Amino acid sequence: MPLICLVRHGQASAGAEDYDVLSGPGRAQAAAVGRELARRGLRDPHLVSGTLVRQRDTARLLADAAGFGGPLHQDPRWNEYDHLGLLARYAPASGRTASEQDRLDHALLAWTRGPGTTGGETWAAFSGRVAAGLAELPAALGRGRDAVVVTSGGVLAALCGALLSLPGEGIAALHRVTVNASVTTLAVGASGTTLLTFNEHAHFAGDGRRLLTYR
């Protein structure tokens, strides 16, 4: 039974001129999750990432740390939504004193409930492209091969929410707690794809706790 390990990218550079660059801790997180994946003994892993810089760099760093020798395949369907655009479209003007995370939770929930405002990617389009990327992945694996996909928190929340038939509130709750460079594991069987684990981050326990971040 093939396994798909979905990895959230390492910490990006919040507050910097270019958000889409791994921070110093983010690079260390990518190496740490690579060592964790090597420990699991994945079978000839098929490595995929979105096309965002933070996703590609996480994939390359974890592959180096894990000793994966195969090529990196890039697929834009694994890209994150535009969180700044989402905040601009859905976050209430009166919420400026709230934390960015609270504002993002509000925006994400509003987004999942319908188009709301014009412009930007709809929830249906986002969740649809993510689901399509996952649906096509097993064909690249065949028997006796696993996959590692480096993506983002919103993608993970959308996929897990769909697999668990969660409402928008559940999707927002998953999104809020997803750890940078965590691992979510899916199993591909004859009856379809099943969620085995969500947001594993034991590789940041003990001495690695200093690397534990959510944003």
Average pLDDT over residues 203-208: 93
pLDDT given for residue 120 in this prediction: 85
Reference 56, options 4, 2, 5, 7; nearest CA is 7
Measured CA to CA, the distance from residue 215 to residue 211 in angstroms comes to: 11
Measured CA to CA, the distance from residue 80 to residue 61 in angstroms comes to: 19
Average pLDDT over residues 158-177: 95
Residue 58's alpha-carbon distances to 44, 48, 55, 148, 176, in angstroms, are: 19, 11, 5, 11, 20
pLDDT given for residue 67 in this prediction: 97
pLDDT tens-place string over residues 4-24 = 999 999 999 987 778 899 999
pLDDT tens-place string over residues 132-144 = 999 999 998 877 8
Measured CA to CA, the distance from residue 144 to residue 117 in angstroms comes to: 46
Summary mean pLDDT of the chain: 92
Say yes or no to pLDDT of 35 above 90.
yes
The type of residue at 115 is P
| CA-CA-CA-CA dihedral for 108, 114, 115, 116, to nearest 10 | -80
Pairing of strands 147-151, 3-8: parallel
Check if the beta carbon of residue 80 is closer than 8 Å to that of residue 155: yes
Higher-confidence residue of 191 and 176: namely 176
pLDDT given for residue 23 in this prediction: 96
Say yes or no to pLDDT of 95 above 60.
no
Say yes or no to pLDDT of 129 above 90.
yes
pLDDT tens-place string over residues 103-117 = 888 889 989 987 655
- Helix boundaries (H) for 67-199: 83-90, 100-112, 123-141, 153-163, 168-177
How many helices (H) and strands (E) the chain has is answered by 7, 6
